[in-house]
Structure 1
Amino acid sequence: MTLLFIGLILWTGAHLFKRIAPQKRAAMGDKGKGLVAVGILAGLVLMVIGYRGAEVIDIWYPPIWTVHLNNLLMLIAVFIFGMSATTGRLRGRMRHPQLTAVRIWAGAHLLVNGDLASIILFGGLLIWALLEVVLINRSEPWDRPAPGHAKKDPVLIAITLVMFGIMTAIHAWLGVWPFPGY
């Protein structure tokens, strides 16, 4: 659990550094981008190692139907995450599509994982994403991008389905089958 906590702290600190100490971050110049990237990557690696190595301490036992709700929410999260890169009509519909997707992802995983390590990991990332949105909204005005062409929206749907399939395959490869009963 220690590595999980350290990873969460590194991830959160590296991401929030620009928001909490903008002058210090700006003074670091381009070198600061590399240091932040290293902090984020180190945090990610430590979270994965810490989570996979954590003792399973069950806090609650989710009902089986929450797995289906999780899968639906994950499909929505992948779609919303993709909205950040779309050039279609959906561009600019949401200010923080990536952070919104992280919040949906974390909430969905909290629905299906009742162990302490999962609550710490997904709950911690949910809190980080919420805090990040608040800090961004306070510090930066939003210049909403103009919508693109509707013909690009089917591309987003196709990419969403492919990415969801890849994520499902990775979960299966790791030994977590996301479709119980099938």
Structure 2
Amino acid sequence: MAMLITGVLLWSLVHLMKSVTPGLRASVQSAIGEGPHKGLVALLLLGAMALMIFGWRSTPAEFSYDPPAWGRHANMALMFVAILLLGAAQGASRIRQWIRHPMLMGVFLWSLGHLLANGDNKSLVLFGGLGLWALISIITISRNEGAWIKPAKIATAGRELLTIAIVAVLYLILIFIHPWIAGVPVVTG
């Protein structure tokens, strides 16, 4: 469990440095240079991911709370929306007219869905921790950026339909590979 907690904390701290402690980030960047700073950040994030993956796999699941009976179905719906939001964050989208931080909101919905579907200790740490990181990021980035100026560029209807089609394909792929990623099948039967 310590590896999993360390991975979630490292991921969160490295990402939050820009929006919570911009002065510290700037001083580190000026001390070592922009290129080495980016490399260090990438290395720390890869390390955080490795800690989360190995921590997840090595931690035995213990009951923490009783998820609702409908939680698994809610998770499947929220996952589609989360993937759609992650896609909307990659370019022009009408979604960006309604949601200021679609990628972070997608991570939050991913986390929420998994907390509704799972009631074990490692899910609480991983999904709860990353969901909390996403919420803190939304708040701190919005505070630093000031008033929201909606993007002027929006996608065409064809681009939006293409995004939905890609999201549907990615959703099905994730359902298929979920047993290899998380060790648990999404659909049992």
Tell me, yes or no, whether TM beats 0.5.
yes
Q: Does the CA contact (< 8 Å) of 1:86 and 1:152 recur in 2?
A: no
| Deviation by residue 1:37-92 (Cα, 9 ceiling, x = unmatched) | 11111111101110111022112233543211111111111111111124344444
Instruction: Decide which of 145, 151, 175 is 2:151's aligned counterpart.
Output: 145
Q: Return closer, same or farther for 1:152/1:20 CA change in 2, 3 Å cut-off.
A: same
Q: Which residue identity does 1:176 align to in structure 2?
A: V
The verdict on how the C-alpha distance between 1:111 and 1:6 changes in structure 2, with shifts beyond 3 A counting, is same
Which one of 108, 118, 124 corresponds to residue 119 of structure 1? 124
Map 1:54-133 → 2, pairs under 5 A:
54-133=59-138
The 1:118/1:89 distance shift into structure 2, 3 A limit, reads closer
For residues 88 and 59 of structure 1, the distance between their equivalents in structure 2, rounded to whole angstroms, comes to: 39
Task: Name the CA distance, whole Å, in 2 between partners of 1:90 and 1:108.
Answer: 20
* Cα distance between partner residues in 2 of 1:79 and 1:65: 22
Q: Structure 1 residues 88, 138: CA separation in 2 closer, same or farther (over 3 Å shift)?
A: closer
More deviation in 150-159 or 86-95?
Answer: 86-95
| AA matched with 1:14 | V
TM-score, length-scaled by structure 2: 0.88
- CA pair 32-143 structure 1, distance change in 2 beyond 3 A: farther
Q: Is the 8 A contact 1:88 1:151 kept in 2?
A: no
Aligned partners of 1:80 and 1:97 also within 8 Å: yes
User: Unmatched 5+ residue regions in structure 1?
Assistant: none
**Which segment drifts farther, 56-65 or 13-22?**
56-65
For residues 59 and 128 of structure 1, what CA distance do their matches in structure 2 show? Answer: 21
* Secondary structure at the counterpart of residue 62 of structure 2: coil
Unmatched tracts of structure 2, length 5 or more = none
Deviation at 1:102, TM superposition (A): 0.5
Match of 2:10 in 1: 10
Shift in alpha-carbon separation, 1:4–1:88, aligned structure 2, 3 A: closer
Partner of 1:21: 21
Q: Which of 53, 71, 83 does residue 48 from structure 1 map onto? A: 53
1:158 aligns with 165
| Paired residues of 1:89 and 1:150 also in contact (CA < 8 A) | no
Identical positions, percent: 39
In 2, are the aligned partners of 1:92 and 1:145 still within 8 Å (CA)?
A: yes
Distance 1:148 1:116, change over 3 A: same
